[in-house]
Structure 1
Amino acid sequence: MLTAGVARANITPPLTVPHAGWGAQTHVYPEGIHYDLWATVLCLAQDGELVCLADLDLCYVTMPQAELLRERIAAALGIAASRVRISTSHTHAGPFIHSNWYKDDDATVTYINEMVEAIVGCAAEAARELVPVRVAAGFGECGIGKRRIQKLDDGRLITGYDPNGATDPIVGTVKLETTDGELLASLLYFSCHPTTLGPDNKLVSPDYPGVARRVVEQLTGGRCLFLQGSTGDIGPGPEGFRSDYAAVERMGTILGSEAAKTLLQLEAVPSAWQFERVVESGASLGLWTNAADVSDSSPAPLLVASRMIELPIKQLVPTEEAEQLYLACQSRMQELIEQGGSADDIREATYKVKRSHKIWQQSLRYYGQASASIEAHFIAFSDIVLAGVPVEPFSSTGKGIREASPFACTLFGGYTNGWLGYLPPAEQYAEGGYEIETSPFAEGAAELLAGQVTAILRELYEQSSSTRT
């Protein structure tokens, strides 16, 4: 029988760790905590084979950070690193741990080390608490996500709000309940950038995913993990990019309530109601009994796959040129901060640092290469598959994969086992915009990835079906 264990750790950073990383922000450090940040780890096991999924309240982890976490967790659990998945919620109001924009980073290094230890300990705890579980999955819908690629009257594309743009309202839910019917853990999947809180926000926050998790747990029990979907072109709409905590509460509550409703309606064991007897009262009352068979007659095969997919790389700026630009921008930003420059000057300098840093990092990693290998990671159980990649897919890619998948419940998303940038669909390249400018991938890469992910899903489904048979 499938077994599961879940554990949680608090990974809220101290206020001495640089905050957020918005290009338009003028502050370096946060001034308080909106909600604590969580690391929630789910372990699944069957026939002695274990897999570990960690959900982290972070914007993203770099490829080296993801590799370190996977290796440390794998060593602690005695499994291969390929059986560990690191997922981030993509909150833009958490600690800035991705690069050294600011000179004073000792606190960041200390925080990262302590965070890694906490997550590894959390994984070990989850693995120790394995119990038999039954599984069910289903979908709801939520409208808080809006298309965020906005065209101005002059033709310029910005990251804003398109009220007529296509979105992906699907809310994916998975429940894992113990054999006595108690909810042990749940998965909540949704596609929307957690950018309700923007550059002016000075509080550490998990944004709407943190509120949604808390709502689910209050209404259903157990521990809730959030899985970010394909959000490259989806955001919180006209209420985004501000310091509106009421909007965070409202959006998270709407999403969490929809997920909780869906979870409460799911049946891990299908009902089999039978009429029992009549009790005479003021009316003749009919009593029914649920005669469902709770025995595990159909074991759910647990499958894990890690596959490399080759994606084309576009022409990039030479590495030395990109580095010089970045260092010049960084020096200017630091000079303004130290000398008390105006908010407008600091904001302009900071966004230039952010963009030049992305260009440099892409060149450092890929310059001179025609293509790059990225990892697609899959965890399949009970006609459910969790598929993740270390990029930011667009909603059309996510919907296409879900619709083509043979699994009854396919939860495909980005921000998995690291982060390498946006993966826009081909039609977006003609339009341009921020996502195209900052992506390392060439036109057609998204379609190539979708085709290969779909092929792997079909292969896994056939393997799952033959194992079940």
Structure 2
Amino acid sequence: MMHRIESPQSRCVVGVARGDITPPVGIYHRMWGAATHDRSTGVHRPLTATALYLENPHAADDFHLAVALDHCLLSREEMDGVRQRAAAGAELPCERFVFFFSHTHGAGLMGYERRDLPGGDLIPPYLERLGDNVAALARTARATKQPAAVVYGHGRCSLAANRDYRDESRQQYVCGYNPDGVADDTVLVARATGRDSRPLATIVNYACHATTLAWENTRISPDYVGAMREVVEAATGAPCLFLQGASGDLGPREGFVGDVAVADRNGRQLGHAALAALEALPPADMAFEYAGPVISGATLGTWKYVPAGDDRRRACETWQTREFVVPLPYRKDLPKAEEVQRERAKWEQEETAAKAAGDPARARDARAMVERMTRSLKRVGHLPPGDCYPFPVRLWKLGDAVWLALTGEHYNVLQRELRRRFPGTPIIVGTVANSSEVSYLLDQASFGKGLYQENVSVLARGSLETLIDAIAEQLGDQ
């Protein structure tokens, strides 16, 4: 019997569409507490939305729309509005849309609570246009659908580094490059090819906060994701869909800068790593089989690609969708909205006093704390009632692969552990999906250190491990 290697694949119906969603220059842009500007002053690279339509090969009414957006995130009110407007415009059910945010911190913070700030008046009409644009992309992606094969593989990239650094001189943890921390370097890639064997789209799933650019940057930017796509798309000729992995404790080694050239360099690093993995993918619908010896100067063992059999093709057409809720307990020490409001007012007074005293450094720090309190107020003010957060999980089993859509920002142990438990299954982990109401999900060992991620998280210690086990249980039942 000849030795045969089957590569992980999916067979389904695929459509793709890409559009420009760059906000107008001058829109409210301040994403960082330390920033001293409010309005954007220009555009580094355009922001894009990419709609990927995935349909059950045996049931046209069973489909998903994965929409990759070059934005950090949207809160529930803004997300619901964009989603509903997109669904209405596309004449499709709202629940079929899943938005995956690239998590760039250079696009601007698009919250309705900013509408009275400089440039904030541009936010509501921009979000309306965003919903309309996504609707048009959804219609195009669905109209251009065709039977396709999706082949999966993986590579490695050292762009991402652990970002929980212990500043020993000040005896505190800071959010920054930690050379001693663990970082998942996996780049999971996929290539969808259509009838003529040309690529329809590529998918790059990598975990790294898009925080190359920080408070000194005043330009609208997709961060490293823009240059990554440019590298991949120049070689493949097809749209590249980026899905942010479990990057709660990961960021670029060189980050928090104002120089867009650094963002482009980081993006090219990931782009070339992804492209190397894509180039290594086997042809669709093929297996790699030992073909026997050839007598030469040595006796050579030869291999060749052979067509996959009918049974194998049918197995790749497997289509399962599971949506389930994992109750995760809230922290016992969550602040009340009234407490946050009082704290915010205190820092506003401090900022005013610092400006009057001619102390710009003190004023900047106070302004940053006002921003921190504003975000905290929005976070705790929109949580579902009860003792637990009903954490939604979307799990798509497409052939040999699993796609996960998860809200929130998870420590990278989530994807490392799931892939360790299911080593033969490509698992695409898409986070910051649809929103991020719960903020961060840390592993148990990271609690109690005074980390930023713990300070802003709303979930109790152990929630990440509970979520990992719940997902693994569902995967084990596939």
Q: Secondary structure at the match of 1:187?
A: strand
Take 1:385 and 1:183, find their aligned partners in 2: how far apart are those partners?
21
Take 2:259 and 2:274, find their aligned partners in 1: how far apart are those partners?
23
- Counterparts of 1:295-310 in structure 2, within 5 Å, are 297-298=313-314, 299-310=316-327
Indicate yes or no: 2:165 matched with 1:147: no
Gaps in structure 2 of 5+ consecutive residues? 1-10, 292-302
Take 1:334 and 1:355, find their aligned partners in 2: how far apart are those partners?
17
Q: Secondary structure at the match of 1:180?
A: coil
| Partner residue in 2 for 1:42 | 52
Indicate yes or no: 2:18 matched with 1:8: yes
Shift of 1:184: 0.3
Shift of 1:136: 0.4
The AA in structure 2 aligned to 1:447 is E
Q: Secondary structure at the match of 1:430?
A: coil
Take 1:30 and 1:77, find their aligned partners in 2: how far apart are those partners?
31
Take 1:400 and 1:316, find their aligned partners in 2: how far apart are those partners?
28
**Which residue of 24, 31, 40 corresponds with 1:21?**
31
Take 1:54 and 1:183, find their aligned partners in 2: how far apart are those partners?
18
Q: Secondary structure at the match of 1:453?
A: helix
Take 1:391 and 1:291, find their aligned partners in 2: how far apart are those partners?
42
The AA in structure 2 aligned to 1:30 is S
Shift of 1:349: 2.7
Shift of 1:355: 1.6
- Counterparts of 1:214-233 in structure 2, within 5 Å, are 214-233=230-249
- For the 8 Å contact 1:318–1:367, the answer to whether it is kept is no
Structure 1 pair 183/368, CA: closer, same or farther in 2 (3 Å)?
closer
- For the 8 Å contact 1:57–1:206, the answer to whether it is kept is yes
Take 1:436 and 1:245, find their aligned partners in 2: how far apart are those partners?
30
Take 1:109 and 1:63, find their aligned partners in 2: how far apart are those partners?
14
Shift of 1:128: 0.9
Indicate yes or no: 2:450 matched with 1:432: yes
| Partner residue in 2 for 1:30 | 40
The AA in structure 2 aligned to 1:410 is I
Structure 1 pair 324/129, CA: closer, same or farther in 2 (3 Å)?
same
**Which residue of 245, 266, 269 corresponds with 1:251?**
266
Shift of 1:271: 5.5
Shift of 1:456: 2.1
The AA in structure 2 aligned to 1:254 is Q
| Partner residue in 2 for 1:203 | 219
Deviations 1:396-453 (A, max 9, x none): 1221122224761001242001112111111111222111111111111111111112
Take 2:183 and 2:420, find their aligned partners in 1: how far apart are those partners?
15
Q: Secondary structure at the match of 1:30?
A: coil
Deviations 1:259-279 (A, max 9, x none): 11211221223256899xxxx
Deviations 1:125-146 (A, max 9, x none): 1111101111100110000101
What is the Cα-based RMSD across aligned positions, in Å? 2.7
Take 1:318 and 1:67, find their aligned partners in 2: how far apart are those partners?
24
| Partner residue in 1 for 2:405 | 388
**Which residue of 179, 193, 202 corresponds with 2:195?**
179
| Partner residue in 2 for 1:350 | 367
| Partner residue in 2 for 1:467 | none
Shift of 1:334: 8.5
The AA in structure 1 aligned to 2:165 is Q
| Partner residue in 2 for 1:453 | 471
Shift of 1:250: 1.7
- For the 8 Å contact 1:389–1:413, the answer to whether it is kept is yes
Deviations 1:193-245 (A, max 9, x none): 111111001111101111111111111121100000011111112x2101122
Take 1:56 and 1:360, find their aligned partners in 2: how far apart are those partners?
25
Indicate yes or no: 2:429 matched with 1:412: yes
- Counterparts of 1:77-226 in structure 2, within 5 Å, are 77-101=90-114, 103-104=116-117, 105-153=120-168, 154-226=170-242
- For the 8 Å contact 2:402–2:427, the answer to whether it is kept is yes
Indicate yes or no: 2:335 matched with 1:320: no
The AA in structure 1 aligned to 2:31 is G
The AA in structure 2 aligned to 1:109 is P
Higher mean displacement: 361-370 or 1-10: 361-370
Q: Secondary structure at the match of 1:25?
A: coil
Shift of 1:290: 6.3
- For the 8 Å contact 1:22–1:199, the answer to whether it is kept is yes
Q: Secondary structure at the match of 2:248?
A: coil
Take 1:318 and 1:218, find their aligned partners in 2: how far apart are those partners?
50
| Partner residue in 2 for 1:280 | none
- For the 8 Å contact 1:196–1:248, the answer to whether it is kept is yes
Structure 1 pair 367/336, CA: closer, same or farther in 2 (3 Å)?
farther
Shift of 1:58: 0.2
Structure 1 pair 87/68, CA: closer, same or farther in 2 (3 Å)?
same
Take 2:237 and 2:206, find their aligned partners in 1: how far apart are those partners?
20
- For the 8 Å contact 2:100–2:430, the answer to whether it is kept is no
The AA in structure 2 aligned to 1:192 is C
Take 1:224 and 1:235, find their aligned partners in 2: how far apart are those partners?
21
Structure 1 pair 102/64, CA: closer, same or farther in 2 (3 Å)?
closer
- For the 8 Å contact 2:157–2:269, the answer to whether it is kept is yes
- For the 8 Å contact 1:194–1:207, the answer to whether it is kept is yes
| Partner residue in 1 for 2:379 | 362
The AA in structure 2 aligned to 1:13 is P
Take 1:366 and 1:272, find their aligned partners in 2: how far apart are those partners?
51
Shift of 1:246: 2.4
Shift of 1:335: 9.6
Higher mean displacement: 116-125 or 358-367: 358-367
TM-score (norm 1): 0.88
The AA in structure 2 aligned to 1:11 is I
| Partner residue in 2 for 1:279 | none
| Partner residue in 1 for 2:394 | 377
Number of residue pairs matched by the alignment: 447
Take 2:153 and 2:210, find their aligned partners in 1: how far apart are those partners?
23
Shift of 1:384: 1.4
Take 1:305 and 1:140, find their aligned partners in 2: how far apart are those partners?
28
TM-score (norm 2): 0.87
